[in-house]
Homo-oligomer: A and B are copies of this chain.
Amino acid sequence: MTINVITISGSLRKASFNTALMRALPALAPAGFRFFEAPSYGGMPVYNADVQAEGFPADVTDFADAIRKADAVVIVAPEYNWTIPGGLKNALDWVSRLDNQPFKDKPVAIQSVTGGAVGGARIQYHLRMALTFLCASVFGTPEVFVGLAHTKFAPGTLELKDEPTRKAVADQLAAFAVFAARHKA
């Protein structure tokens, strides 16, 4: 069975460790997973119902369509100020206002990368709350927290070098494949 997975990075900078982890996923995934990066949410305006009343921005509808077309979603996100990055949350806020809710019953796995030791142990639960409201089918365990990012990725290439991290990610993707396949069946 082929499972089309859309991936979303919670960080927009080019040299982001979270984006680097997102790009490492295909090499660590079981057969059958095909990965596509979601269109950027970086150009979305701050959510405002008055703006919405004039029509959803194309960036929002493109982002939503990409999620709708996918069988599953993986979000890889940093922790900003102990919770969800505002930009990523803003994208979810826009999407949440659409009819034909893109996240409804969609299997979603979460990973997080941080510079500090904690590895995102706070953001993931706030993201789970938002995704629960959006009626996503949020994958449980194993969880992936990647702390001390600068020790896990190669300088310059940002290749994921740390073997325990590679294994943790591969283990989650293997379990997520079973979870996502159950939704497609």
Contacts and interface: CB of A to CB of B under 8 A. Distances in A.
Instruction: Select the residue from A50, A119, A143 with max chain B CB neighbours within 10 A.
Output: A50
A89 B83 contact: yes
Interface string A83-114: 11111111111001000000000000000000
- State which size class the interface on A falls in: 35 or more
A153 interface: no
Contacts of A85: 47, 89-90, 93
Number of copies: 4
Interface stretch (A24-32, A64-72, A130-138, A154-162): A130-138
A88 to B, nearest CB: 7
A134 B161 CA distance: 29
A88 B87 CA distance: 10
Interface of A: 11-14, 41-50, 80-93, 96, 117-119, 121-122, 125-126, 128-130, 132-138, 140-141, 143, 145, 147, 182
